[in-house]
Amino acid sequence: MRALDAARSAGASYADCRISRNRTQTIFTRERQVQALADNETLGFGVRVLVDGAWGFAASRQLTSEEVARVARQAVAQAKANRVAMLRPVTLSPVTATPNGRWRGDWVKTDPFDIAIEDKVALLLAANEAALKVQGARFVNSAMFFLREEKTLATTDGTFVVQTIFRAQPTMTVTAVAPDFSDFQSRQSNDIQPMGRGYEHVVEANLVENATRWATEAVQKLSARPVEVGRYDLVLHPSHLWLTIHEAIGHPTELDRAMQYEANYAGTSFVAPPEKFLGKFKYGPEFMNIQGDRSQPMSLSACGWDDEGVKPEDFLIVKNGVFNDYQTTREQAPWLEWWYAQQGRPVRSHGCSYAQSWADTQFQRMPNVSLMPGETERSWEDIIAATDRGIAIVGDGSFSIDQQRYNAQFGGQLFYEIKGGKIVGMLKDVAYQMQTPTFWNAMDMIGGKASYMLGGAFGDGKGQPSQSNAVSHGCVPTRHRNINVINTGRKA
């Protein structure tokens, strides 16, 4: 309240103040030893203000009455200086104030920081040992990542909210080496995805039990047949597809990218300008619906309010195959006023504002972006059974994509050849090439509700200075017809 009062007294028409305490912990092991341990905590506050249509921001880790007022005045001075470079004044879309809000995911059972580091290390080393017992498995890396974020936001619009957010990710990579050292293959544990959960996520990951399977699959990849270059029907598992969604739908539908604000670093978007794409562009088939939200239980982007005090809403980015909406903040929503007027919808932020810590100013960041299940209850196995000649891909791997998110290439973890509706063997060195609209319009089958799962990224960078946020992507298995596949192991 001192920050808001000081900002208004100095001339701000709007102000918000965030106080946050972030604690992160990472533990890395390799084979039978601990490689690294990092346990960090940061506490401070940031003040953002609007003066005559220009933003200003300042922050400090000194929580005293005098410092709070000084930083608020500094933010106002920064805003006044920023007016020199202002192209057009910022206007904010309306928001419903929340005067006394509290949020914590009720699915979080165990604070990961209540678990002794010795117990975490013992679990990782036991999983490593299980993997090393598989003949041919030579190297094992495993890790755990945890975050607890406690933040309070107050705004001059009358919002005062307190939230506690947890995230957890256990991970393992097993590398197998051929007896003659002619080849090596790795298997990452990305069927266990990062989640907005507590330590129970690590327990339920069953690392020791799964380590044997991951190691066995790494060894099997050594004797897998190199893929023959050509066009195949691809059957994509959710543990793989989430990344394709992130890169080819999540990023290009960020409104600031579409409006060129991220061109210098994160890139632009092929889904631009908005007036040529909204309601007109066929992103995929009619059964394709892509939802943006921050409400899915256990998802990485779940919260009660975004970092502008907006209660996020579920919205369709792609509706019945047609591009329908961008990700927005309070500043960005008015840019699409003409579109919302056509739709008979109010000009309102979707709640996509985020800052990674008290020291960073909030800006547009991706919410959960998910491919919704089809109406027919269809499984991964059902789609394979319906495919005559194709490749099934499990897990995400290396990828590359251009700055407009139009041309891309994706690898994976496990590749299986499909013939006559059955898996007939394992392949290796597989990557597929795609152009985003062609790829999604080639999708002719998707799974049902029972096959839906959450994938996600613990950290995704954007902005200058760069910030990183965590985001989940729910999806179902899909089939894409006649996609070009290359051999990544072929020598020139």
State residue 11 phi and psi, 5-degree precision: 120, 5
Question: Is the separation of the CB atoms in 66 and 48 below 8 Å?
Answer: no
Question: Is the separation of the CB atoms in 290 and 425 below 8 Å?
Answer: no
List of residues 6+ apart from 317 with CB closer than 8 A? 249, 253, 290, 291, 292, 323, 324, 325, 326, 327, 369
List of residues 6+ apart from 438 with CB closer than 8 A? none
pLDDT at 52: 96
pLDDT tens-digit map of 379-422: 999 999 999 999 999 999 999 999 999 999 999 999 999 999 99
**Three-state DSSP class for 357?**
coil
- Taking 70 as the pLDDT cut, the residues of the chain under it are 491-492
The dihedral over CA atoms of 35, 39, 45, 47, expressed in degrees to the nearest 10, equals: 20
431 forms bridges with which residues in the sheet?
A: 486
Q: Give which of 418, 315, 417, 432 is closest to 366, Cα–Cα.
A: 315
Separation between Cα atoms, residue 415 and residue 422, nearest integer Å? 13
Whole-number Cα distances in Å, 330 to 62, 95, 159, 363: 29, 8, 14, 10
To the question of domain 2-223 being in CATH 3.30.2290.10, the answer is yes
State residue 266 phi and psi, 5-degree precision: -80, -20
Pairing of strands 315-319, 290-293: antiparallel
DSSP label at residue 374: P
Domain residue extents for the chain:
2-223, 230-487
DSSP label at residue 254: B
pLDDT tens-digit map of 83-96: 999 999 999 999 99
Q: What is the percent of the chain where pLDDT is above 90?
A: 97
pLDDT at 490: 72
pLDDT tens-digit map of 43-63: 999 999 999 999 999 999 999
Separation between Cα atoms, residue 321 and residue 332, nearest integer Å? 24
Residue 380 in tokens: 């991964």
Q: What is the largest CA-CA distance in the chain?
A: 74
Alpha helices in 160-254 (DSSP H): 200-204, 207-222, 238-245
| pTM (two decimals) | 0.96
pLDDT at 491: 63
